[in-house]
Amino acid sequence: MTRQSENNRVDRTLRKLSLDREAPKSAFILLVLLYAIATFLTVTTGRMHGETIIFGIPVEYTSLPGIFSTLGNICIILLVVLFRKVGYIVSVGLIILQLPMNYVNVFVRHHYRGLPGFFSSIMVIISITVIYLSYKKILNYQNSIREQAVTDRLTGLPNRFATGELMADLLKKDERFCLVSTDLNNFKSVNDTMGHATGDLVLKEVANRWKTLANSMNTGTVDFVARNTGDEFLIVISDYQSIEDVENTIAMYKAELEKKITIDNCDYFMTACFGYTLCPDDTEVIENLYLFADSALHELKKSGSGSRLLRFTPEVLNTEKTLEIERKIRTALSEDKIFFNLQPQYDMNHKLRGFEALARMKDDDGSYINPADFIPVAEDTGLVDRIDNKVFELAVQFIKDVNMDTDHDITMSVNVSVRHLMKNNFIEEIKRVLDAYKVPAECIEIEITESIMIDSADKALQRIDELKLMGMKVAIDDFGTGYSSLSYLNSFPSDLLKIDKSFIDKMNMSASSRQYVAMIISIGHTLNLKVISEGVETSDQIDVLKQIGCDYIQGYVWGMPMPPEEAKKLLEQEHA
Ligand code: C2E
Ligand code: MG
Ligand code: MG
């Protein structure tokens, strides 16, 4: 099969979704033939006199033309109903052909027995015209509904339903294919900073580019691009030889996306993650194909932004893993086995500024479970406030143990999930712990992640004001990964910006990445905030951060997260 004919098959599947399906050609021929026979018998029996015996019943010949003419009319109506325009034209043609003969018979030769036949022909033409016109109206309406059902209105691409139909079709034909699930990175920030109208234009541009690429068949495979929802798209790739072919095709979509998008003189640089799964290799169940491609996509998203692709593997499917982690969190909480590590933060002269308290939890085999795995599960299951409270209490206890509250000018940073921050008893809980250990609020800094903060900005701002009134410091964690809107930053009563590790990682790769970090620092300073860089791993990064005026550093280069006993020693050395 050629590529072109393969591609036509994609179109055929879409057409198949149409409600406007015609009956087979054989039915058309049969109906015309039946009509011809019925007409012939109407005329022939009309000329006969007397009666005949049918199934033992005496039937007068004069009653037969009526029966055959009705049969003929039924054929005509069926032709219009089943074959619409063609059926209508042929039917009208067939009747009109007989009209002159009827006319001559009745009005010229004065054979008035043919008069009912003449009027019946006129009536049939009027009836089928009415049927045809109302059918056309219904069809137009049905087609517009179909369009809406299988097409995405914004981009004009097929939608998820159409994708399902195509996959079902490929499955039926035993053809292998790949389902790719893709999601634009940071699209939310385009919407939030430039408005939804601009966001829509970005989506349309991406859709156009991908549609053009799919239609060009330059990828070497047969591709079908659809919009799933929001900034999520689906690509079905078929007619490939190997996984390399699939990955090459995806790479072409990725490259097409990453070309600059200009809207109203503004340039946008979009990237996306691509999760894919193969049928029948991974599964032959359509629902699972979606699930698998999405799971691969989410696995990529979890590990940060950037354009990457990943094939589904069973490990990626983490519903079971999530349940397992939830069980482990519950056990750890009930057995009081949540503990914490402290990661030092330094100023640029390597003088200790303080520590960040980081939750830790061990697996059944004694190995650590990564917080990036258990914190999101805890957030989803509402257990995060219990973890936060535990770490907060341990951190406050540490402050008391090492006399940080009286002897040292050291800050203890504690992470607070926004879900927890929003709880009505949040402030009381914090006060209760501080009172119990008699630790002043000034020793504590609360870290709140920027990206999730905004979703409920007003209430969160109120909570943060209360924290500030108590005397606590507030840090915006993972800065740069969320909205980074200046107006929000200005109204947010924080003390410290924590530049996300992803920016520090890229900082020394290009002048623009470095300028980006420099810009965040200068914005922070303009707003009277201190700025700390997270995830600093090399001395080169320290040098650059010094040059561009960063205030503090947190990273493996000067200190990994450590158990409290080690942190205590570090403090003693610092103040020796
Ligand atoms: P975060 O608050 O941004 O914490 C910084 C994370 O970066 C920590 O990971 C830390 O170990 C890691 N990190 C610091 N320096 C480096 C470096 O130089 N290289 C690398 N590769 N990593 C570095 P960790 O401990 O795995 O925590 C991950 C996230 O889990 C935290 O990110 C925070 O969002 C969350 N988390 C941790 N503890 C808690 C907690 O008690 N409550 C809440 N709500 N979230 C927590
Ligand atoms: Mg943090
Ligand atoms: Mg962070």
Task: Tell me the pLDDT tens digit for each residue of 35-94.
Answer: 999 989 988 887 788 888 878 888 888 888 888 888 999 999 999 988 888 999 999 998
Residue 109: the pLDDT is: 82
Amino acid in the structure at residue 123: M
State the average pLDDT over residues 525-541: 96
Q: Which ligand is nearest to the CA of 420?
A: 1
Q: Which atom of ligand 1 is nearest to the CA of 390?
A: 41
Mutate to test the pocket of ligand 1, among 302, 333, 339, 358 (most ligand atoms within 8 A of CB): 358
Q: How many CA atoms lie within 13 A of 415 on its CB side?
A: 21
Q: How many residues does the chain have?
A: 576
Angle at which helix 64-103 crosses helix 115-150, to 10 degrees, equals 100
What is the CA 86 to chain-centroid distance, rounded? 43
Helices (H) and strands (E) in the chain, counts: 21, 18
Pocket around ligand 1 at a 6 A CB cut-off? 343, 358-359, 370-372, 375, 384, 387-388, 391, 415-417, 447, 477-478, 534-537, 554-556, 561
Three-state SS for 498?
strand
Q: Which atom of ligand 1 is nearest to the CA of 384?
A: 44
Residue of the CA atom closest to atom 26 of ligand 1: 371
State the average pLDDT over residues 405-431: 88
**What are the tens digits of pLDDT across the range 304-355?**
656 688 888 887 776 667 788 999 999 999 999 999 999 999 999 999 999 9
Q: With cut-offs at 50, 70 and 90, classify the pLDDT of residue 436.
A: very high
* 331 Cα: distance to centroid of ligand 2 (angstroms): 24
For the chain, give every domain's residue range: 3-150, 160-312, 324-574
Which has more pLDDT, 303 or 350?
350
Residue 575 clears pLDDT 80, i.e. is over it:
no
State the average pLDDT over residues 527-549: 96
**What are the tens digits of pLDDT across the range 450-507?**
655 555 567 778 888 999 999 999 999 988 776 556 667 777 789 999 999 999 999 9
Amino acid in the structure at residue 301: K
**Residues of the chain above pLDDT 90, percent:** 59
Residue 211: the pLDDT is: 95
* 259 Cα: distance to centroid of ligand 3 (angstroms): 30
Q: With cut-offs at 50, 70 and 90, classify the pLDDT of residue 193.
A: confident
Residue 543 clears pLDDT 80, i.e. is over it:
yes
- The 3-state DSSP composition of the chain as helix, strand, coil percent (nearest 5) reads 60, 20, 25
Q: With cut-offs at 50, 70 and 90, classify the pLDDT of residue 113.
A: confident
Report residue 311: phi and psi, to 5°: -85, 150
**CATH architecture of structural domain 160-312:** 2-Layer Sandwich (3.30)
* 130 Cα: distance to centroid of ligand 1 (angstroms): 73
Residue 252: the pLDDT is: 96
Residue 451: the pLDDT is: 57
* CA-angle at 321, arms to 317 and 325, nearest 5°: 155
* 45 Cα: distance to centroid of ligand 1 (angstroms): 96
Residue 1 clears pLDDT 70, i.e. is over it:
no
**What are the tens digits of pLDDT across the range 136-158?**
888 888 777 777 788 999 999 99
**CATH architecture of structural domain 324-574:** Alpha-Beta Barrel (3.20)
Q: With cut-offs at 50, 70 and 90, classify the pLDDT of residue 117.
A: confident
Report residue 22: phi and psi, to 5°: -95, 155
Residue 146: the pLDDT is: 74
Residue of the CA atom closest to atom 10 of ligand 1: 561
* 433 Cα: distance to centroid of ligand 2 (angstroms): 20
Spell out the residues 6+ positions from residue 336 whose beta carbon is closer than 8 angstroms to its own.
Answer: none
Which has more pLDDT, 200 or 487?
200
